[in-house]
């Protein structure tokens, strides 16, 4: 929320800088309370910083890289984020969509964000083992190659330390329980914190 303090003899307070999170159900607190999700927890942490930052969660369950690409221009215009976190690709992978298409969509989103003077953090995802090594390795390479070529920050695997712990995952094996979300945030924070300046 943007807050301006105005009055006689009162300087106008600077609005908090914004981190925009564009993701899918992994960032949209799927089947858990919004207050338990890692993006909400991120917003709480950002609010304690000086100067303050704020998080805008534009994540939608079921979002693909193409739909995220289509939504991003309006989000950039609305929120003018200083940092854009892109967490997309899981639904592309689960639907078996082509990796070149995923790469093109992610590259376009990175370019849009950077053109808007935002720093970018790319959050990678892993596919279940039944998708085979060729597809899984190819998916990993999309994120690492884009991060290198577009000079973005990268979290190779959003659910690192969570996905293989049944006590932290929902029964679908894809989404964290509320108990796993703080660990997801810690994974993101390591790469996000250096961008907050």
Say how far apart CA 11 and CA 117 lie, in whole Å: 26
Marked catalytic residue, from 25, 59, 65, 147? 25
Give residue limits of the domains in the chain.
17-195
Residue 96 is predicted with a pLDDT of 87
Name the CATH superfamily, with its identifier, for domain 17-195. SGNH hydrolase (3.40.50.1110)
Residue 25 known to be catalytic = yes
Strand arrangement, sheet containing 153-155: 53-57, 17-23, 83-87, 119-123, 153-155
What's the average model confidence in pLDDT over 81-109? 96
Query: For residue 6, what pLDDT band results from cuts at 50, 70 and 90?
Result: very low
Residue 59 known to be catalytic = no
Query: For residue 14, what pLDDT band results from cuts at 50, 70 and 90?
Result: confident
Reported as half-sphere exposure (CB side, CA atoms, 13 A), residue 127 has a value of 24
For residue 44, what is the enclosing H or E element? Answer: helix 38-47
Say how far apart CA 3 and CA 84 lie, in whole Å: 21
Query: For residue 48, what pLDDT band results from cuts at 50, 70 and 90?
Result: very high
Residue 172 known to be catalytic = yes
């Amino acid at each position: 929320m943007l807050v301006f303090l105005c009055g006689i003899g009162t300087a106008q307070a600077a609005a908090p800088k914004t981190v925009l999170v564009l993701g899918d159900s992994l960032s949209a607190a799927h089947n858990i309370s919004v207050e338990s999700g890692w993006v909400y927890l991120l917003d709480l942490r950002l609010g304690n910083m000086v100067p303050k930052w704020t998080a805008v969660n534009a994540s939608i369950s079921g979002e693909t890289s193409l739909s995220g690409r289509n939504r991003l221009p309006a989000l950039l215009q609305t929120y003018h984020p200083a940092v854009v976190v892109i967490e997309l690709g899981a639904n592309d992978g689960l639907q078996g969509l082509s990796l070149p298409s995923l790469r093109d969509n992610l590259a376009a989103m990175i370019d849009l964000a950077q053109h808007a003077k935002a720093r970018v953090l790319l959050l990678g995802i892993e596919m279940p083992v039944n998708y085979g090594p060729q597809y899984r390795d190819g998916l990993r390479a999309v994120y690492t190659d884009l991060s290198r070529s577009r000079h973005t920050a990268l979290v190779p695997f959003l659910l690192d330390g969570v996905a293989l712990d049944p006590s932290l995952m929902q029964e679908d094996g894809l989404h964290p329980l509320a108990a796993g979300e703080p660990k997801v945030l810690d994974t993101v924070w390591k790469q996000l914190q250096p961008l907050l300046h």
